[in-house]
Amino acid sequence: MSNDITSRKGEVVGQWDGEDVNDLMKELARIKKELTGDRVEHTGIPHKDQFPEDFVGFTAYVMWAVDKKDQCLTGSGANRIEPVAQIREFYANDIAKDAAGRARD
């Protein structure tokens, strides 16, 4: 598995080893400062295989990555870290299910 962080244009703009989302958050902040005319979206982050299977349909908010400690980098600006268990609790409630349903409509 590659550690490459890729931009929307497909260029390798950084690296993340999948160990700690704190490191990814710092790397994304660095990239944002240095990158001009392009950007990184959650689809350009490596180690998608670390996402739990039950997160595949989650659309209530953006999830960038899950590290090996079951911490998830979330938010449109990749600025929040939440435990996987906390996201599962949110996803299990009716409000989250309704939001997910509206996102698919």
Please give the residue that has the higher pLDDT: either 102 or 62: 62
CB-CB neighbours of 44 under 10 Å: 21
Task: pLDDT band for 93, please (50, 70, 90 cuts).
Answer: low
Q: Find the radius of gyration of the CA atoms of the chain.
A: 14
Give the phi and the psi of residue 32 in degrees, each rounded to 5.
-60, -40
Q: CA angle, 59 as apex, 45 and 71 as ends, to 5°? A: 50
Greatest distance between any 2 Cα atoms in the chain: 41
Q: Say which residues have a Cβ less than 8 Å from residue 49's Cβ, sequence separation at least 6.
A: 1
Please give the residue that has the higher pLDDT: either 30 or 105: 30
Query: What pLDDT is recorded for position 60?
Result: 84
For residues 1 and 46, the answer to whether their CB atoms sit within 8 Å is yes
Whether pLDDT at 95 is above 70: no
pLDDT in tens, 47-78: 999 999 988 878 888 999 999 999 999 999 99
- The CA distance from 77 to 69, in Å, is 21
pTM of the model: 0.83
Q: DSSP letter at 78?
A: T
